[in-house]
Chains A and B, each alone.
Chain A
Amino acid sequence: MKELGLSRRKLLRNAALGTAALALPVSRATPSAAMVKSLNFYSWTYGISFVKQRIAEFEKLAKVKINYGNTPGSKYHDTLVVKFTGKTPLDVIYMIDGHLAEFVEAGWLYPIDEFPRVDEYRKEFIGPTADALTYNGKLYGLPYYVGHMAFLYNEEHLEKAGIGAPPKTWDEVVQQSLQIKSKGIQEYPFLQFLKADFWMGEMLFTMMYSRGGRFVDEKYNVMGYDKPDSAVAQSIQWIIDAAKKHKITQPGFMELNEVAALKAFSSGTGSFAILPNYRLRAANEPKSSKVAGKIKMALIPTANNAKPHVCGWTRAYSMTASAAKDPARKAMSWKMVDFLGGKDKSGTYRTAKKWFTEFGLGFGHAPLFKDPDIVAAANKWGEAKLFESQMALSKPKDGQKAVWYAEWDQFMRPRVHKAILGQADIVGTLKTLTKQWNRLKRRYG
């Protein structure tokens, strides 16, 4: 190196600057953004080292200091509410599509339609992404990741039990679980998690969608949700039977949250589980999973001849309304949103791609399905085609864009728990939930 007239430090610096120059769409820098010395960025706790790495790159390129904070995902909504009401400075945040309506109505978010290349990005969003991030016709962020609930199974358990293929229907889930149980492979083959927290809605919607059920239509009218033979009634009954009649579900499933379920599944507990799709990567990671290489994904089992639909979601990088009050801060916040959620100079969705290859997080950009690195990474721990098929069959929670959705969701959790516990009857519970939905609709509508 010395011969070339380069010190190691110089080489590293130049390499870093070169990489950074590729990553940042420099031409989009606006003069006013340069006036901002610092930005406040807030996220939930996931892949922190990678997030910090990207922040460091952005800081260097945009010459801005990022004040970064994070909190666990299960507490994210509440923490943001406290921060927004307490007027804590926030400029760029992670956004959950299910909270979009209430956050926009509260005046906390700023739409990004006015910024360059947004239309180009929007055209490349997959399936429900654009809709998930749009409220009252305005787009409120670029996708951080797109995910859905996925049916995972332990291939080794199935082989030991002499089962040739994963279940295609919910009845088969019961039969195969009983078979696994009878051979002493697992006492509780179906690993269920149903703590009354954030994930409960995703789980119930997935079980309902896979039976062909709906909750509300586009105008928020309830669609037979409270009928005795509704898909959601069948789902709740299935959960009860799995736990009490067949005893294929572990007894403590109502205290188990999503992270604990992943840990249990990765430690070899359970043969089947419904988890977020990106957990497939973690469950097959040798450093953290005892069953690495044995966990596979299948399309969600169905009933009533329904298509294997699952509940899906979109998470985004969004700009806050307070950031948009100052033109310079607004420009810099957009640069950051674009840096994280958009393309780099080479035309690649660099952050999204890395999230998938390193962490298994799904993406919201159609071109990435054809990216050779993505396909190779997907085939390493699963089947790329299967991922695409299940992703195409994912749907956001019905009604989640109603401003009262989160309030209804909170009302729903303890009541469904009570129905599962046998403290309330299923149809009565669903009638109560329908009544509450209509009451809230009248109040806010």
Chain B
Amino acid sequence: MANILSVEGAEPAAQAGLKGWFARRMQTEGGIAAFFVGPALLLMVLLNIYPILHSFYVSVHVYNLKRPHRNPFVGFENYVMFLESEDFYNALINTVIFVVVSVIAVALIGLIFSLALNELGSGVRKWAVPLILVPWAVPYVANGLIWEWIYHSDYGVLNGLLVALGVIDKYQTWLSNPDRALYTLVNAFVWKEVPLATVLFLTALQAIPEDLYSAAKIDQAGAPRRFWHITLPALKLAFLLVLVYTSIISIKTFDLVYILTEGGPGDATALVSWYTYVETFRNLQFGSGASISYVIAIATFILAIGYIKILYRPQES
């Protein structure tokens, strides 16, 4: 097949120099692919790969902005230092709790909402889906500010509502109670992330052929068995998406801590992302901040691989 980039009237092999090499490359599929993918790849290298490599470079040096001209190579000392830190382990435990509770809650609530929406007529669903997506569309900072107002111990809406309903008899502290504070953050996070999970599950639910349910009914299968043997297996890919996405987002959660608690009371809501932020932008220790970021990124990557290994079967998709 003559290539559109070949030089007319000249055999590619006969051409010399760079022009000839280019013409020969463009005769191959790989060459054409490289030609079109190359610019995007170059951008990716500049915008993604270079910062990743540079941040690794920073993570193995002392980069303390209070001593900007002293940047000795320290190997993995920054990594060792934070791994030995009590504060980091506290943040790690908080993060694990935050991620596990959030991911389970988002997946379960999203699933329940999607099942309910799936039962509604398409006319109602047409209106319900955009409405349910509103919290997801709220920016993270605005979400934090909304919940700050809701949780406030003196004039918060939550206290007002619970007192009015008779659930509590006097206003409670939510954000300054060390036993509750982390879960108040989880709640704010779940409120924002459930809508997307709902839509992902709903899309998967609507792709299940109705025939399968009809056949199961003929076979006398009850609702629980239909759910277990038809619905759930069909939602595997949606689960994969929800779990991977929510896990990554929850591990990265920073805005809620920044707006609502600054890691307090005490260190009850200090997540790893907050710890990294403090180390980098408050303590100006960019070297150790970069090393923590690296570990978080690798842990997230391993988690995502784990989900894929467990849930993804190409033949099923």
Q: Residues of A with Cβ closer than 8 Å to B?
A: 77-78, 81-82, 85, 102, 105-107, 195-197, 250-255, 260, 264, 269, 403-404, 406-407, 410, 413-415, 417-418, 421, 423, 444
A81 touches B65 (CB 8 A): yes
Q: Contact check, A254 vs B264: say whether CB atoms are below 8 A apart.
A: yes
Instruction: Enumerate 11 A-B pairs (CB-CB under 8 Å) in ascending A order.
Output: A77-B282, A102-B66, A105-B68, A106-B65, A106-B66, A196-B263, A254-B265, A255-B173, A407-B282, A414-B264, A423-B178
Determine the residue in chain A with the shortest Cβ distance to B278. A410
Which one of B67, B153, B262 contacts A105 once the chains associate, using CB atoms below 8 Å?
Answer: B67
Q: Report the bound CA distance from A260 to B148 in whole Å.
A: 11
Instruction: Kindly report which residue of chain A lies nearest to residue B280, judged by CB atoms.
Output: A81
Considering only CB atoms and an 8 Å cut-off, how many residues of chain B contact the other chain?
Answer: 27
Complex alpha-carbon distance, A248 and B266, angstroms: 21
Pick from A106, A196, A252, A423: contact of B154, CB below 8 A.
A252
Contact B262 A407 (CB under 8 A): no
Which residue of chain B has the shortest Cβ distance to A196 in the bound complex?
A: B264
Give the docked Cα–Cα distance between A216 and B283 (Å): 20
A196 → chain B, closest Cβ, in Å?
A: 4
> Which residue, of A197, A252, A264, has the highest number of chain B Cβ atoms within 10 A?
A252
Q: Is B234 an interface residue (CB 8 A)?
A: no
A418 x B267 contact (CB < 8 A): yes
B56-83, CB < 8 A from A:
65-68
Asked if B293 is an interface residue, CB under 8 A from chain A, the answer is: no
Q: How far is the CB of A138 from chain B (nearest CB, A)?
A: 17
Shortest Cβ distance from residue B225 to the other chain A in the assembled complex, whole angstroms: 49
Cross-chain contact of A423 among B68, B153, B173, B266 (Cβ < 8 A): B266
List the B side residues contacting A102 at CB < 8 Å.
Answer: 65-66, 284
- A78 in complex: contacting residue of B65, B178, B270, B282, CB < 8 Å: B282
Chain A residues, Cβ within 8 Å of B278: 410
B180 to chain A, nearest CB (A): 11
8 A Cβ contacts from B96-154 to A: 152-154
Interface string of B259-286 (1 = CB under 8 A from A): 0011111110010000001100111101
Q: Contact check, B66 vs A85: say whether CB atoms are below 8 A apart.
A: no
Bound CA–CA A269/B263 (angstroms): 26
For B264, what are the chain A residues with a Cβ–Cβ distance below 8 Å? 195-196, 254-255, 413-414, 417
Asked if B175 is at the interface (CB within 8 A of a chain A CB), the reply is: yes
A251 near B173 with CB under 8 A, answer yes
Closest chain B CB from A366 CB (angstroms): 33
Tell me the B175-195 residues at the A interface (CB within 8 Å).
Answer: 175-176, 178
A250 near B266: Cβ-Cβ < 8 Å:
no
Complex Cα gap A269–B153 (Å): 13
Which residues in B have their C-beta under 8 angstroms from that of A254? 176, 264-265
Which of B173, B178, B266, B282 contacts A410 (CB under 8 A)? B282
Q: B270–A414 contact, CB under 8 A?
A: yes
- Report Cα–Cα, A404/B281, bound state, in Å: 14
Q: Which residues of A contact B265 (CB under 8 A)?
A: 196, 254-255, 417, 421
Interface centre among B68, B175, B264 (most CB of A within 10 A): B264
Contacts A252-B176, A406-B282 aside, 19 further interface pairs with beta carbons under 8 A come to A78-B281, A81-B65, A81-B284, A102-B66, A105-B65, A105-B68, A106-B65, A106-B68, A196-B263, A197-B262, A254-B265, A255-B176, A404-B66, A407-B282, A407-B284, A417-B267, A418-B266, A421-B178, A444-B66
CB proximity of B77 to chain A, nearest CB, Å: 13
Neighbouring B residues of A251 by C-beta, 8 Å: 153, 171, 173, 176
Closest chain-A Cβ to B183's Cβ sits at a distance in Å of 15
Tell me the minimal C-beta distance from A148 to chain B in angstroms: 23
Complex Cα gap A415–B90 (Å)? 13
Q: How far is the CA of A269 from the CA of B281 in the complex (A)?
A: 35
Which one of A85, A195, A407, A413 lies within 8 Å of B283 (CB-CB)?
Answer: A407
- Decide: B262 and A196 in contact? CB cutoff 8 A: yes
Given A414-B270, A417-B264, A417-B266, A252 and B68 contact (CB-CB distance below 8 Å): no
**Chain B residues in 8 Å Cβ range of A260:** 152
- A195 CA to B270 CA in the complex, in Å? 14
Q: Which residue of B lies closest to A77 (CB)?
A: B282
- Inter-chain contact A252/B152, CB cutoff 8 Å: yes
Whether B154 lies near A250 (C-beta < 8 A) is yes
Give the residues in chain B near A444, CB-CB below 8 Å. Answer: 66-67
A107 and B68 in contact, given A196-B263, A413-B264 (Cβ under 8 angstroms): yes
CB distance from A104 to the nearest CB of B (A): 9
A413 to B278, CA, bound (A): 12
Q: For A197, what are the chain B residues with a Cβ–Cβ distance below 8 Å?
A: 262
| Contact in complex: B263, A414 (CB < 8 Å) | yes
A404 to B66, CA, bound (A): 8
A195 to B148 Cα, complex, angstroms: 13
Least Cβ distance of A1 to chain B in Å? 50
Contact partner of B267 (CB less than 8 A), chosen from A81, A264, A414, is A414
A81-B65, A407-B283 given; A195·B262 CB < 8 A: yes
Residue of B nearest to A252 (CB): B153
B66 adjacent to A421 (CB under 8 Å): no
Shortest CB distance B313–A (Å): 44
Q: Are B261 and A255 in contact (CB under 8 A)?
A: yes
Cα distance, A85 to B284, chains bound together (Å): 10
Alpha-carbon gap, A417 to B90, bound state (A): 15
Complex CA–CA separation, A397 to B25 (angstroms): 69
Contacts of B281 in A (CB 8 A): 78, 81-82
Complex CA–CA separation, A212 to B192 (angstroms): 49
Cα–Cα distance between A270 and B61 once the two chains are bound (Å): 51
Among A255, A406, A414, A415, contact of B153 (Cβ-Cβ < 8 Å) = A255
Which chain A residue lies CB-closest to B258? A75
Contacts of B277 in A (CB 8 A): 78
Whether the Cβ atoms of A410 and B283 lie closer than 8 Å is: yes
Residues of A with C-beta under 8 A to B153 = 250-252, 255
Collect the chain A residues with CB atoms within 8 Å of residue B178's CB: 421, 423
A81 to B267, CA, bound (A): 23
State A363–B61 Cα separation when bound (angstroms).
43
Cα(A239)–Cα(B143), bound, Å: 32
Contacts of A415 in B (CB 8 A): 266
On chain B, the residues within 8 Å of A105 by CB distance are 65-68
Kindly provide the distance from the CB of A94 to the nearest chain B CB, expressed in whole angstroms: 18
